[in-house]
């Protein structure tokens, strides 16, 4: 079936991959070099599809991937004017994520790899997030060399973990959430406040006009010496406060802003404190913060030394998958057409 794939021989040769990310609800396609340069990236988010349910419906997510994915691949070639002969491999997220969603991306990637005779590279979604700050395009270049070691704080709707990256492919999870992810803490609070889904960005905006000291929310596990997180207690405290306030009237206006600011401050305090503790513990100074919650403006202010990607590379995107895929291709770490899809539970650790 199809053509035989060729794997580049020299590890320092710059390679270019087509990348596909469909691990959750965003369908994303990119063309990226092993230098981290993004030639093309476009994503189709499904926020409008899932908003009425207040969370992601897996069945709807994979159904929409099947509709959105191939048009994005077509667009990638059309916009860049690149041809298949200028693509060295196909990178795809194969874990962790929603099973049906992953299956759509991986099946399409396998088919394209077989038909066009390209090597297939399976990429761990979390590994992609960790390298996202080092992507560059016409608008953004951090100009920071991405030499390891560094410590990554990965915060999104599905995961919250601190990872020590000692070199490419060598990862140690130092801490993770014991219950909800940081993004979930934002989204569930948003649901109680009737702000729609996902609510992180809106809470961030409202919080800019609020007093972060007005309500005292718990800072879970702050006193613990380990690097784990827990957000379910904060979530409960948040809903109880909203319930209490709504007994005397609708929660809106300045009170809503103050609530958002105080709640966000509790999350930002815990995340920044734990990252600082990891730096002290491991003795590695370079830090990166990635994942959807890394778009948060307060978090960025509280961690001035950390490297943050721009918003488009924080949320789930194929560019980060392509960068890791291209780096793997350079060292010959390719997958077979029997690549396995692994949903695994949220907060799956990245293995070394």
Q: Give the residues lining the site for ligand KG4 (CB under 6 A).
A: 24, 156-158, 183, 186-187, 198-201, 204, 291-293, 295-296, 315-316
Which residue is closest to ligand KG4 by CB?
292
The helix (H) or strand (E) run that includes residue 253 is helix 253-282
Q: Residue 76 corresponds to which tokens in the numbers above?
A: 């990638």
Q: Name residue, tokens 């904060």.
A: 234
What does DSSP assign to residue 208?
Answer: T
Query: Looking at 72-80, 196-204, 236-244, 311-319, which segment touches Zn ion (CB under 5 A)?
Result: 311-319
What does DSSP assign to residue 3?
Answer: P
Q: Nearest approach, Cβ of 302 to ligand KG4 (angstroms)?
A: 12
180 contributes a contact to Zn ion by CB under 5 A: no
Say how many C-beta atoms besides its own lie within 10 A of residue 345's C-beta. Answer: 7
Query: Of these partners, ligand KG4, Zn ion, none, which one is at the site of residue 200 (CB under 5 to 8 Å by kind)?
Result: ligand KG4
Q: Which is nearer to ligand KG4, 107 or 297 (CB)?
A: 297
Q: What angle do CA 277, 159, 290 make, to 5 degrees?
A: 65
Q: Residue 153 corresponds to which tokens in the numbers above?
A: 């704080």
Q: Nearest approach, Cβ of 77 to ligand KG4 (angstroms)?
A: 25
Q: Nearest approach, Cβ of 223 to ligand KG4 (angstroms)?
A: 24
Binding mask 138-157 for Zn ion (x = CB under 5 A): ------------------x-
Please tell me the distance from the alpha carbon of residue 91 to that of residue 267, in angstroms, as a whole number.
33
Q: Residue 23 corresponds to which tokens in the numbers above?
A: 């691990």
Q: Which is nearer to ligand KG4, 269 or 281 (CB)?
A: 269
184 contributes a contact to Zn ion by CB under 5 A: no
Residue among 88, 137, 180, 316 that touches Zn ion (CB under 5 A): 316
Q: Which is nearer to ligand KG4, 89 or 215 (CB)?
A: 215
Which of 213, 172, 139, 158 has its CA nearest to residue 25?
A: 158
Please tell me the distance from the alpha carbon of residue 34 to that of residue 50, in angstroms, as a whole number.
34
């Amino acid at each position: 079936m199809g053509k035989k794939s060729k794997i580049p021989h020299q590890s320092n040769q710059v390679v270019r991959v087509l990348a596909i990310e469909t691990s959750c609800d965003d369908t994303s396609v990119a063309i990226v070099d092993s230098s981290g340069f993004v030639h093309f990236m476009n994503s189709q988010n499904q926020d409008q599809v899932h908003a009425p349910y207040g969370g992601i419906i897996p069945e709807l997510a994979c159904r929409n991937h099947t509709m959105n994915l191939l048009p994005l691949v077509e667009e990638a070639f059309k916009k860049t004017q690149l041809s298949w002969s200028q693509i060295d491999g196909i990178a795809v997220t194969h874990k962790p994520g929603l099973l049906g969603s992953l299956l759509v991306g991986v099946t399409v990637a396998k088919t394209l790899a077989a038909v066009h005779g390209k090597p297939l590279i399976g990429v761990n979604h979390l590994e992609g997030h960790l390298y996202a700050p080092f992507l560059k395009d016409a608008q953004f270049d951090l100009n920071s060399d991405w030499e390891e070691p560094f410590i990554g704080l990965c915060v999104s709707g599905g995961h919250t973990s601190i990872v020590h990256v000692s070199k490419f492919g060598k990862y140690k999870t130092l801490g993770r959430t014991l219950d909800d992810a940081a993004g979930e803490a934002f989204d569930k609070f948003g649901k109680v406040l009737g702000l729609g889904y996902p609510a992180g960005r809106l809470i961030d905006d409202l919080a800019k006009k609020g007093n972060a000291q007005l309500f005292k929310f718990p800072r879970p596990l702050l006193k613990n010496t380990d690097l784990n997180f827990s957000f379910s207690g904060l979530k409960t405290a948040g809903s109880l406060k909203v319930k209490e306030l709504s007994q005397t009237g609708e929660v809106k206006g300045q009170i809503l802003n103050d609530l958002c600011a105080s709640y966000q401050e509790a999350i930002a305090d815990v995340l920044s404190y734990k990252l600082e503790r990891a730096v002290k513990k491991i003795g590695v100074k370079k830090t990166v913060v990635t994942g959807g919650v890394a778009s948060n403006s307060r978090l960025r202010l509280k961690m001035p030394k950390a490297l943050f990607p721009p918003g488009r590379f924080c949320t789930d995107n194929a560019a980060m998958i392509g960068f890791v895929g291209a780096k793997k291709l350079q060292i010959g770490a390719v997958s077979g057409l029997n690549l396995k899809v692994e949903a695994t539970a949220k907060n799956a650790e990245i293995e070394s």
